[in-house]
Amino acid sequence: MVESVLCYGSELWALREEDKRRILAVEMDYLRRSARVSRLQRVRNEEIRNRTSAQETVIIRRIEKRSLRWFGHLMRMEDTRWPKRVFKWSPTGGNKRGRPRRSWNDGIRQAMRDRNIEEDLVYDRDGWRLRLGRQHLAV
């Protein structure tokens, strides 16, 4: 239940490293609570993961998967629909000084590189779903 509440609306998050760190801390907190181990007992995170049989971080992967699923849906939309129009819109005017903030699009491109997914695959719905890890194809 914690994962579903934590991931609500995560399709549009532009995750920074600090955000990922905080999400992992929340995940570790609920794993500790489910194992009934306090931080005062000084049990290592690896031991908690072994006790709860949760070897990998689930929440970050789920957020990336949901974002990629939304990206595929967005790219297959007609160009006249508002979400697609907002996605393709680029504001006019000058940029602020300093390093540009990491955008949602940058996070999607990084997740696609991590999973070795090409952008052309987005138009093949069944192939896209298989690459994201959904094994069930629409019949």
**104 close to 12: Cβ distance less than 8 angstroms:** yes
What does the pLDDT look like over 71-96, one tens digit per residue?
A: 999 999 999 999 999 999 988 888 88
At 100 the pLDDT is 86
Sign of CA dihedral 18, 9, 63, 60: positive
What does the pLDDT look like over 43-60, one tens digit per residue?
A: 999 999 999 888 778 889
Q: Tell me the pLDDT band of 134, cut-offs 50, 70 and 90.
A: low
Output the CA–CA distances (angstroms, integers) from residue 51 to 42, 44, 104, 127, 134, in the order listed: 15, 11, 35, 36, 28
